[in-house]
Structure 1
Amino acid sequence: MESALTHKHSTIMKSGIDSYKRGYDEGREDGYKQGEEKGYHDGYEEGNEEGFNEGFRKGSNHGLFTGMIIGSFSVFLGIFVMTAVSRK
């Protein structure tokens, strides 16, 4: 009688341990998947934002520099033409 009870108790414990291991493995796998997806998503968003900011900064600087050169040349050309016209 005691041996049947011990056997039943042992079977219940083994079933509980197996359930725990299965739950642990499934939880760990789900955690890895969620972490990987979140990491990819966050990295993608951060990369897009950083790329946009960097592109905007470089584009603004380039546009400002180019605009200053063209504007300075236009002013110089205008002054030159005005001076040439006024001398005649």
Structure 2
Amino acid sequence: MKKNRFNLLNTPDELYQTPIQFWNEYNRPWLDKAIARGDDIIITTKPIENNLYRTNRETGLRELTGFGKEYNYLLEQGYKYDAKNSKMIKKQE
């Protein structure tokens, strides 16, 4: 991953075992590096209710989707959604 470049998280399907494993080993570390650089993060999915949550078929409970987890994590790290540009940007302090 390089600053001032377009960086994409793209892992082979065979590396995915479980949602928790993928988040801990690939997704969160990738986001943490982008956050540390202060990158804007382009998102191609709109952060609306249906994209952020799903109903678990086994429990019937609502839970965050993978995208919802990414979105909330970025909010917790001081980012906000810029709807005009479809980006998560670091809040100015």
Q: TM-score, normalised by structure 1?
A: 0.21
Q: Name the structure with the higher helix share.
A: 1
Q: Which structure shows the bigger proportion of residues in strand conformation? A: 2
Which one has a bigger Cα radius of gyration? 1
Which structure carries more relative contact order (alpha carbon 8 Å, separation 6+)?
A: 2
